[in-house]
């Protein structure tokens, strides 16, 4: 208690400040918001030397801790990456304002006019583990949608995140929006459950990261949580598939970028085409350097599947490793996906329209594909301009979460003195 109390007081103060900024942002014009984003981009460019210095501290600490080359590369800021960050902000400034859109409008028999209008959500808490550019990218997207943000990044990027956040703060104060972006200036893990208790000030939490992070937020949050969790994505090659098309889609879904959430983890092959297709796809994937895991029985039937490792149907490999399972028909495929999928992205390859429609309707995922790669579940591939992530929950923002998904709505009702009978 003695250690959490000052931290709680500090976080509460941050949250109250964010709430105040959110009230100003709600009634800010598109021009005001774009001016603030432009100020951020300019300040990032100006402060680049200082930001690279701060980043050097994180890199040195990461090396000292023996982090992998890949992780260190993800942490690293370079002049090019700084320019990409500033350029990304300017792209968001050019996107249409998602706030104030009349979503619906109707008049009741008593003459009341009801207008359903998009409005900012308010204060958004973003808890993330990934690269330092998230600090800027997420804050700018939220800002464009009229929201204040409270950011809490991973400890390994702490110096970089703090320097970026200071830069944003500086720009926003000059633009008349102090407190619109706050960064939690501590690596104390206790900060996460404490933030999650501040539902009086924070309207929604967006956690982005691994199981531990998501689980902590889901367990403690009193406000709604929009999860960006894992993708255990499936491709099902149905008996009426064009097998050449299936091959290209599978290779794309697994290999084009294996480390992301919309990459395929499990291939389901319909039994009647397994004898023809399994050797074909195994040979192709071998060339691509993919390890295919399955069960003992299938390995026996298809010696091409050389890996001695058993499949883990519930695993998100995020690597050139995948599962293969032979199933009997579309119902068995749907059942497997219901049991082991993560409701993210799943695809059926078939030339049979009726079977495809059954799959599209029954599979309970944010994005369900027919004859296309799962890799398209992405804000820019959907045409949203930018995205803050891929929602894996059921409500509010399912699938790619763009600017529009960073708003909510209210009803404005215009009368001439109506009272209820």
Binding residues for a second copy, per CB under 8 A? 23, 26-27, 106, 108, 112, 114, 119, 121-122, 199, 203-204, 218-219, 222, 224-225, 242, 245, 248-249, 251-253, 256, 338, 358, 360-362, 364-373, 375-377, 381-383, 393-396, 398-399, 408-420
Smallest separation (angstroms) from a second copy to the CB of 3: 22
Q: 305 vs 327, which CB is nearer to a second copy? A: 327
Joined tokens for residue 313: 């149907």
CB of 266 to a second copy, least distance (A): 18
Which residue, 12 or 186, has its beta carbon nearer to a second copy?
12
C-alpha–C-alpha distance, residues 390 and 366, integer Å: 9
8-state DSSP, 310: B
Cβ distance to a second copy smaller for residue 191 or 196: 196
Of residues 7 and 114, the one with the C-beta less far from a second copy: 114
The distance of closest approach from Cβ of residue 171 to a second copy in the complex, given in angstroms and rounded to an integer, is: 25
CA dihedral 253→258→262→267, nearest 10 degrees, is 50
Q: Least distance from C-beta 97 to a second copy, angstroms?
A: 14
Measured between alpha carbons, how far is residue 16 from residues 87, 142, 197, 198 in Å? 31, 17, 13, 10
> In the complex, what is the shortest distance from the CB of residue 22 to a second copy, in angstroms, rounded to a whole number?
9
CB nearer a second copy, residue 77 or residue 367? 367
Residue whose CB is less far from a second copy, 79 or 100? 100
Query: CA geometry: angle at 303 spanning 302 and 305, to 5°?
Result: 80
Class of residue 183 by CB neighbours under 10 A (exposed 0-12, middle 13-18, buried 19+)? buried
Residue from 312, 237, 317 nearest 271 by CA:
237
- CB-side neighbour CA atoms (13 Å) of 374: 32
List, edge to edge, every strand of the sheet that includes 345-349. 291-293, 321-327, 264-270, 233-237, 345-349
Beta strands in 210-309 (DSSP E): 233-237, 264-270, 291-293
Which residue's CB is nearer to a second copy, number 136 or number 255?
Answer: 255
- Measured between alpha carbons, how far is 120 from 25 in angstroms, rounded to an integer? 8
Min dist CB 242 to a second copy, Å, is: 7
- Least distance in angstroms from the C-beta of 92 to a second copy: 21
């Amino acid at each position: 208690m003695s250690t959490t109390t000052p931290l709680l007081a500090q976080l509460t103060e941050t949250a109250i400040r964010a709430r105040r900024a959110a009230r100003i942002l709600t009634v800010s014009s598109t021009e005001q918001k774009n001016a603030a984003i432009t100020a951020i981009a300019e300040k990032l460019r100006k402060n680049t030397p200082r930001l690279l210095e701060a980043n050097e501290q994180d890199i040195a600490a990461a090396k000292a801790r023996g982090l992998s080359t890949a992780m260190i590369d993800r942490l690293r800021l370079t002049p090019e990456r700084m320019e990409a960050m500033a350029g990304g902000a300017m792209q968001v400034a050019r996107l249409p304002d998602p706030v104030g859109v009349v979503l619906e409008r109707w008049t009741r028999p008593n003459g009341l006019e009801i207008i359903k209008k998009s409005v900012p959500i308010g204060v958004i808490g973003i808890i993330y583990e990934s690269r330092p550019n998230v600090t800027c990218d997420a804050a700018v997207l939220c800002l464009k949608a009229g929201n204040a943000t409270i950011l809490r990044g991973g400890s390994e990027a702490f110096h970089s995140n703090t320097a970026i956040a200071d830069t944003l703060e500086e720009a926003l104060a000059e633009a008349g929006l102090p407190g619109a972006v706050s960064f939690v200036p501590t690596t104390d893990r206790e900060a996460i459950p404490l933030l999650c208790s501040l539902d009086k000030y924070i309207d929604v939490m967006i956690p982005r990261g691994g199981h531990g992070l998501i689980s902590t937020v889901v367990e403690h949050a009193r406000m709604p949580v929009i999860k960006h969790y894992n993708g255990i994505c499936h491709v099902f090659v149905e008996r009426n598939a064009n097998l050449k098309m299936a091959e290209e889609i599978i290779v794309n879904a697994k290999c084009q970028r294996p480390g992301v959430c919309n990459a395929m983890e499990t291939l389901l092959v319909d039994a009647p085409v397994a004898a023809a297709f399994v050797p074909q796809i195994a040979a192709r994937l071998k060339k691509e350097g993919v390890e295919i895991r399955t069960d003992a029985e299938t390995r026996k039937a298809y010696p091409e599947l050389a890996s001695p490792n058993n499949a883990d149907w519930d695993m998100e490999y995020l690597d050139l490793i995948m599962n293969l399972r032979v199933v009997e028909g579309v119902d068995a495929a749907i059942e497997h996906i219901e049991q082991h999928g993560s409701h993210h992205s799943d695809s059926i390859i078939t030339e049979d329209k009726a079977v495809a429609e059954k799959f599209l309707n029954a599979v309970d995922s944010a994005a369900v594909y027919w004859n296309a790669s799962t890799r398209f579940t992405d804000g820019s591939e959907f045409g949203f301009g930018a995205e803050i992530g891929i929602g894996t929950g059921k409500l509010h923002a399912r699938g790619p979460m763009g600017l529009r998904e960073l708003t909510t709505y209210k009803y404005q009702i215009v009368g001439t003195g109506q009272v209820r009978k």
